[in-house]
Amino acid sequence: MKALILNSGAGRRMGPLSGERPKCMTEISPTESIIARQLRQLSECGVEEAVITTGPFAAALEGYCRALGLPLRLTFVHNPRWAETNYIYSIYCARERLRGEGILLMHGDLVFEESVLEEALAAKTSVMAVSSALPPPQKDFKAVIREGRVARVGVDLFDGAVTAQPLYKLLEDDWKTWLGGIAEFCEAGRTDCYAEEALNEAADRCRIMPLDFGGALCAEIDTPQDLAAVSARLKEIEERLVYMCFSTDVVHSGHIAIMRRARRLGRLVVGVLSDEAVASYKRFPLVPFEERRALFENIAGVSRVVEQKSLSYADILRELRPAVVVHGDDWREGAQRPIRAEVLAILAEQGGKLVEFPYTKDAKLNQIEARFREKLSLPDVRRARLRRLLSLKPLVTAIEAHNGITGLIAEKTVVCQEGRARQFDAMWLSSLCDSTAKGKPDIELVDMSSRLRTADEIMEVTTKPMILDGDTGGLVEHFVYNVRTLERMGVSAVIIEDKTGLKKNSLFGVEAKQTQDSPENFAAKIRAGKEAQKTRDFMIIARIESLILEKGVGDALLRARAYTGAGADGIMIHSRKKDPTEIFAFVEKFRAFDKSTPIVVVPTSFSSVTEEEFARRGINIVIYANQLTRSAFPAMQKAARTILERRRALEADELCMPIKDILTLIPEE
Ligand code: SPV
Ligand code: MG
């Protein structure tokens, strides 16, 4: 869209300020004049061409504007009769340059906030800037609004008129009508009136809607008093704190553009989401917090970078009390909706406002995200992340996965509650579920080659860290090989249990004959594994079966000391009792002499205990070891039974996911 800026007037009311140069060259801030600000704003908003009418000091104005070097095509049209005519005649002089398209029309002494210009440009209809918040001025423009349209514009209207400013966005038809009226006026010699008189005569053929800028800045500078008031407002706007938060690892052109727009609203403070908060709602950040912070600190126009520690804005908004929060409008729907609602409530309390820019889905960004995901699934990157998470979070959660689809559920399931997003941190490759999926008992019958194939299948479609259930670890001679294989694959941890001989699932307890290894033998296995491993990231976690085999907390503690002494990177304490008392007794006593070794629990039996309680008691990893398998099987059985009973599939349909959903469940990349 083309802009038309009217600068042919003498600006006499400015006194000496317009004595040697056009009024529009008056400085309104230490760095900008009225016209420099207008032209910058236009080019920043995507306007490519401006037609400027000139009067006195035409050459000086043209030279000045061109020297600004803005990416705008500039055309200057001189009104030779500027001293005796009004701007209606300047428009008439420029008419040949203004035909055939819509126009953004403004007076050369108008100063406005970007939001006003942006809204005008975004309007689907022709608009004129009006304010319902400001009292109608005595001398300046007012508009009469009738049936939602601008019916008359002038300085002498009073009854029911609202404040108006000479900033119009005119669609081609409306502009053509008005321009035609201007030509008729001028050709009839009526050159000493406002162009709006021609508009008023044609008003019933135009559809110009009021664009209410409320209390935002949009004002003409006619006098030195106006200048002082506008300059003070601009200073205020510049100081206004504008906040926006990013979770991204890469800053691309879309982010720069939105920051540039945000910066125009005031002093931009950028929040960078903490690693933990990013990991909780999106995926693990590839670039750690400190580097992300540095990234934003080095972006022009960002005045300060702060850490936002949670997805909820509540704490940071209460601390910073920004006048404006900026966000893409994509958060109006979906998981972030409650977070937006909370932001709106706090801003209402604090007298701030939310500005939302249209969110554009960026194909390039999707590609970057896909590449990041690939990177997150690389062995070195994935392996290290369990330790990273343990250092970041008081409690890490893992859920079982036994094939690609359960891996995807572990990867992608997110719930948002009370301004927080929750997802699982890691995956547990359970021997029970891997065996069950193959219709086999959990007795180390599914051998390590098969288990590794399952691990690989899951890893192919996920990025989260994997903890592998290593059963007894097998023979020491085999275990050391397996440790290296797991490391190479990018598995983060293996948990081996201190049993020997034919292992049966622990949840049988003493009902099945099971033998516990001696603490010395098992410690030796751990030591051999630790010596074999090549990276520092990989973890060998020792699982103590003393409580399962009813040997008591004392035996478990003895073993815990031996295993950590042998280099175990974590202790898993298991129990099949509903009552967690024994588990908690172990944890308390263990923590009395070991504050840091991570403790793992599998609350299949003691499932009533919450994560908050585990964390409070000093437990670091909670594994939900079999819930996906146990929930899927009854559903499958029920569908199978229903079909058999009804001898058709209709009744089973309501138990099933729609075909459309299953086809799109896994998008093609
Ligand atoms: C598994 O999930 O295979 C486990 C945990 O080893 S448990 O079944 O509780 O023994
Ligand atoms: Mg197992």
pTM above 0.75, yes or no: no
Measure the CA–CA gap between 2 and 43, rounded to whole angstroms: 11
Q: What angle do CA 100, 101, 107 make, to 5 degrees?
A: 120
Which of 499, 604, 607, 621 to mutate for ligand 1's pocket (most ligand atoms within 8 Å of CB)?
604
Sequence-distant (6+) residues with CB within 8 A of 657 are 665
Measure the CA–CA gap between 311 and 281, rounded to whole angstroms: 8
Ligand 1, atom 5: closest residue by C-alpha: 625
Between the CA of 506 and the centroid of ligand 2 the distance, in Å, is: 8
Measure the CA–CA gap between 328 and 343, rounded to whole angstroms: 13
Task: Sketch out the chain's domains with CATH numbers.
Answer: 2-225 (3.90.550.10), 240-364 (3.40.50.620), 378-625 (3.20.20.60), 631-663 (no CATH)
Confidence of residue 566 (pLDDT cuts 50, 70, 90): very high
| Residue 115 vs residue 349, higher pLDDT | 349
pLDDT at residue 644 in the model: 98
Contact in structure between 307 and 289 (CB atoms under 8 Å): yes
Confidence of residue 621 (pLDDT cuts 50, 70, 90): very high
pLDDT at residue 373 in the model: 81
Measure the CA–CA gap between 95 and 184, rounded to whole angstroms: 12
Residue range 251-274, pLDDT digits in tens: 888 888 889 889 989 999 999 999
User: Partners of 427 in the beta sheet?
Assistant: 399, 466
**Which protein residues have a CB closer than 5 Å to ligand 2 (ion)?**
431-432, 469
pLDDT at residue 436 in the model: 97
Which residues line the pocket of ligand 1, CB cutoff 6 A?
430-432, 442, 469, 505-507, 602, 604, 625-626
Active site residues: 442
Sequence-distant (6+) residues with CB within 8 A of 83 are 10, 55, 56
Measure the CA–CA gap between 449 and 451, rounded to whole angstroms: 5
Residue 625 CA, closest ligand 1 atom number = 2
pLDDT at residue 419 in the model: 67
Confidence of residue 520 (pLDDT cuts 50, 70, 90): very high
Ligand 1, atom 7: closest residue by C-alpha: 506
Ligand 1, atom 2: closest residue by C-alpha: 430
Between the CA of 470 and the centroid of ligand 2 the distance, in Å, is: 7
Between the CA of 518 and the centroid of ligand 2 the distance, in Å, is: 19
Q: Does 219 score more than 80 pLDDT?
A: yes
pLDDT at residue 669 in the model: 61
Residue 471 CA, closest ligand 1 atom number = 6
Between the CA of 178 and the centroid of ligand 2 the distance, in Å, is: 81
Backbone angles phi, psi at 518, to 5 degrees: -75, 150
Ligand 1, atom 10: closest residue by C-alpha: 506
Measure the CA–CA gap between 585 and 90, rounded to whole angstroms: 89
Between the CA of 125 and the centroid of ligand 2 the distance, in Å, is: 67
The 10 Å CB-count burial string (b at 16+, else e) for 193-218 is bbbbbbbbebbeebbbbbbbbeebbb
Residue 400 CA, closest ligand 1 atom number = 2
pLDDT at residue 415 in the model: 86
Amino acid at 140: D
pLDDT at residue 375 in the model: 86
Q: Does 665 score more than 90 pLDDT?
A: no
Residue range 284-322, pLDDT digits in tens: 888 889 999 999 999 999 999 999 998 899 999 999 999
